[in-house]
Amino acid sequence: MTNKLTWFGHATLGLETDGQRLLIDPFFNGNPAASAKADEVAADFILVTHGHGDHVGDAIQIAKRTGATVIANAEISSWMGRQGVENTHAQHIGGGYHYPFGYLKLTLALHGSALPDGSNGGNPVGFLLTMNDGKKIYLAGDTGLFGDMRLIGEEGLEAAVLPIGDNYTMGPDDALRAVKMLTPKHVIPIHFSTWDVIRQDPADWAARVAKETGAQVHVLKPGEHFSF
């Protein structure tokens, strides 16, 4: 089984696995790095890590158009319901659930989560997905470095998607330390260079990771994908 991870720019990802189409943090319209528009993407499920505008993005609009189920923490999923999203599934940190695309567990993330209208978005999360072929991918979301990434690494990761932009999230140095704790086979850096304040050189970071860890870094351009 091949899984296809597409980076649409910033923190927006598409994941196709076992015939299911997932969008993660779907921020297209108003995203200077976006390689697609909100009205042209497909989704069966939409995963939202936290309430910030660059992650909630166009989730409401896409969910209404496609009928996709929005998966998020309890606070964000009930907020989505109040915005008229018909299908939502609430989870919370430490809890997992079996979906058609695999077993999805919510993880800790160190960040904020206020929603665009100021509503309480609960705690931010990351996602640990065990796909139906048994491969695991960790989507860290917006987060600072935390030592419990070691526990996530113990699960045995095929891939990890990490922010490297600095300023709002881990920067290159801490993201490198994260790779050492997570020990994934593959790493995809995101959440950088969308704006000047998070500008980074991903090739430089990839070289450091290659030198100091056993992980293989895949630096994508918006619109490009990685199959695993």
CB of 191 to Ni ion, least distance (A): 8
Length of the chain: 228
Q: Which is nearer to Ni ion, 52 or 136 (CB)?
A: 52
Strands 102-108 and 96-99 come out as antiparallel
Residue 136 touches Ni ion, criterion: CB under 5 A:
no
Q: Which is nearer to Ni ion, 52 or 105 (CB)?
A: 52
Q: Which residues are 110's β-sheet partners?
A: none
Q: Which is nearer to Mn ion, 131 or 164 (CB)?
A: 164
Task: Please identify, among the stretches 15-23, 101-109, 141-149, 159-167, the one whose residues bind Ni ion according to the rule CB under 5 A.
Answer: 141-149
Residue 25 touches Mn ion, criterion: CB under 5 A:
no
Residue 142 touches Ni ion, criterion: CB under 5 A:
yes
Cβ-proximal residues to 19 (8 Å cutoff; 6+ apart), any chain: none
Contact partner at residue 174 from Ni ion, Mn ion, none, CB < 5 to 8 Å by partner kind: none
Residue 54 touches Mn ion, criterion: CB under 5 A:
yes
With H, G, I as helix, E, B as strand and everything else as coil, classify residue 87. coil
CA of 91: how far to CAs of 48, 144, 146, in Å? Answer: 11, 22, 21
Interface with Mn ion in residues 94-153 (CB under 5 A) = 142
Q: Which is nearer to Mn ion, 91 or 194 (CB)?
A: 194
- If you write DSSP's letter for every residue of 30-86 in order, what string do you get? T-TT-SS-GGG---SEEE---SSHHHHTTHHHHHHHH-PEEEEEHHHHHHHHHTT-S
With CB under 5 A as the contact rule, the residue among 13, 21, 41, 52 that binds Ni ion is 52
Radius of gyration of the chain (CA): 16
Q: Which is nearer to Ni ion, 58 or 142 (CB)?
A: 142
How many residues bind Mn ion (CB under 5 A)? The answer is 2
Q: Hey, how many other C-beta atoms are within 10 angstroms of the C-beta on 137?
A: 24
Residue 166 touches Mn ion, criterion: CB under 5 A:
no
Q: Which residues are 186's β-sheet partners?
A: 159, 216
Name the residues that contact Mn ion, by CB under 5 A: 54, 142
Name the residues that contact Ni ion, by CB under 5 A: 52, 142
